[in-house]
Amino acid sequence: MYREKAIEKMKGYFQEDRFIEHTLKVLARAEQICEGERIDDAFILQVATLGSIFHDIGIPEALKKHSSMEAPYQEQEGPPVARRLMNEEGVRPDILERVCYIVGYHHTADKVDGLDFQVIWEADFIVNIDEGNIVLEPGEVERSVDENLKTETARVLIREVL
């Protein structure tokens, strides 16, 4: 698999610890979810891994072009960067296209359309809560967890950070 090479590409591209650390946390949570859910489909595992590594890869370009790292700019700028980095490593076209789709919609809930994307969505959600990027008021925790976390493993992991 392309995991280690993708991590090195991501680190080289970001060159900023806060983005690298966030990405590695999302990857770790995605791997925990995959393991906890006993996902053994090689395609889903590769997409979940690469999608986690590249989900925020549009941030530097969004900052450069739009002076903002807001979600729409990340989603717009991320896929071309992810595509280039994965092409450099010879990632299989079907995996590459799926990862680019996820990178292009990783902040858009109604675009989550498969287990691979759900794993990344949940991992990023958990890490963003843990890092304080998403703040839930006491009355909205249950609703937000129900809306965003579909796997049992993610529902267990969120208890660690709430």
pLDDT, tens only, 56-74: 999 999 999 999 999 999 9
pLDDT at residue 1, as a whole number: 53
Say if residue 62 is exposed, middle or buried (CB neighbours under 10 Å; 0-12, 13-18, 19+). Answer: buried
When the pLDDT of each residue in the chain is averaged and rounded to a whole number, the result is 96
Q: What's the CA gap between 62 and 113, in Å, rounded?
A: 25
| C-alpha to C-alpha distance for 122 and 114, rounded to whole angstroms | 12
pLDDT class of 7 with cuts at 50, 70, 90: very high
Contact between 103 and 120 (Cβ < 8 Å): no
Q: Is pLDDT of 141 > 70?
A: yes
Give the list of residues 6+ apart from residue 15 with CB closer than 8 angstroms, or none.
none
> Sign of the C-alpha dihedral, residues 37, 38, 44, 45?
positive
Give 111-121 pLDDT, tens digit per residue: 999 999 999 99
Indicate the CATH number of 3-161 among 1.10.260.40, 3.30.1490.20, 3.40.50.720, 1.10.3210.10: 1.10.3210.10
pLDDT tens by residue, 27-58: 999 999 999 999 999 999 999 999 999 999 99
Q: Which residues contact 31 (CB under 8 A, 6 or more apart)?
A: 49, 52
Res 78 pLDDT > 90: yes
109 pLDDT band (50/70/90 cuts)? very high
Mean pLDDT of 86-106: 97
pLDDT number for residue 2: 84
What are the Cα distances from residue 118, in Å, to 7, 24, 62?
21, 17, 24
Higher pLDDT, 55 or 137: 55
Q: CA angle at residue 86 from 80 to 92, to 5 degrees?
A: 115
Ranges of each domain in the chain: 3-161
Say what the pLDDT of residue 146 is. Answer: 94
| pTM of the predicted protein model | 0.95
